[in-house]
Copies of this chain bind each other. A is one copy, B any other.
């Protein structure tokens, strides 16, 4: 509830056009009651789009197919964008019964549905991935970013052990407003790519690797210690998280 709204209610009370009890209820209701929808097992935050530019996203793991379908139906009922991450095709079946026009992005393991009348995609987010095994995470980032209204350029398998693969894409690097850089193993790609571009870089460590990669810890630490300026890091395998901040950055620059 914004100051202007409070002032308007107070004016109405002063004018006598609104009773005290009604005003009291109105203030309470505006602030709290319409802010979320309580399903018992979940409280869907319907104010999030207003507050942050994108509706609540459904993190799939730990929820039953039925729970996911129910939440999805509520979101779509308001014609908001739907994004469910890290779900199998089986969960998708359950969602499709409630949301017939939902789609399954298999590489990204995500369920998506764009709202009607969504504006055209803008700007340019580069999604670069070091190796073929990093694709599920890169695709989660790319699909999420597209659903959030961003044009995405995918540049895959450009790991630092064969630098020419990356250097040959210099024009595409230069065209990016913001770059999402996905890598496992030693996680060196954000440092190298970050040294070549002038745009913000969002680094995504992946759990790809073995032995002393310790489930992505090696890549995570490397990225946090990047000697290149302009790099920030999200959680291991968190393609969606990278897309969320990259989208905000890209949208900041307008069309």
- Taking the complex as formed, is A118 at the interface, i.e. its CB lies under 8 A from any CB of chain B? no
Interface contact A231-B245, CB-CB below 8 Å: yes
Distance (whole angstroms) from the CB of A20 to the closest CB of chain B: 5
Q: Evaluate contact between B212 and A236: CB separation under 8 angstroms.
A: yes
Give A183 to B36 CA distance when docked, in angstroms. Answer: 19
CA distance A219 to B222 in the complex (A): 7
Does A115 lie at the interface of the complex (its beta carbon under 8 Å from any beta carbon of B)? no
B162 close to A45 (CB less than 8 A): yes
* In the assembled complex, A208 has its CB within 8 A of some CB on chain B: yes
In the complex, chain B residues whose CB is within 8 Å of the CB of A6: 24, 27
* Pair A211/B191 contact, Cβ less than 8 Å: no
Q: Is the CB of B227 within 8 A of A161?
A: yes
CA distance in complex: A67, B11 (Å): 44
| B218 contacts A212, C-beta separation under 8 Å | no
Q: How far is the CB of A244 from chain B (nearest CB, A)?
A: 4
Q: A153 on the interface (CB 8 Å rule)?
A: no
Report chain B residues within 8 Å CB of A135: 41
Which residues A26-42 have CB closer than 8 A to chain B? Answer: 27-28, 31-33, 35-36, 40-42
Q: Mark A93-120, 1 if CB is under 8 A from B, else 0.
A: 0000000000000000000000000000
Convert A212-251 into 0s and 1s, putting 1 for each residue whose CB lies closer than 8 angstroms to a CB of B.
1111111111111111111111111110111011001100
Query: Are B186 and A226 in contact, CB atoms less than 8 angstroms apart?
Result: yes
A-B contact pairs, 11 of them (CB 8 A): A31-B168, A42-B132, A63-B133, A161-B228, A163-B163, A163-B196, A186-B224, A202-B232, A229-B244, A231-B245, A253-B254
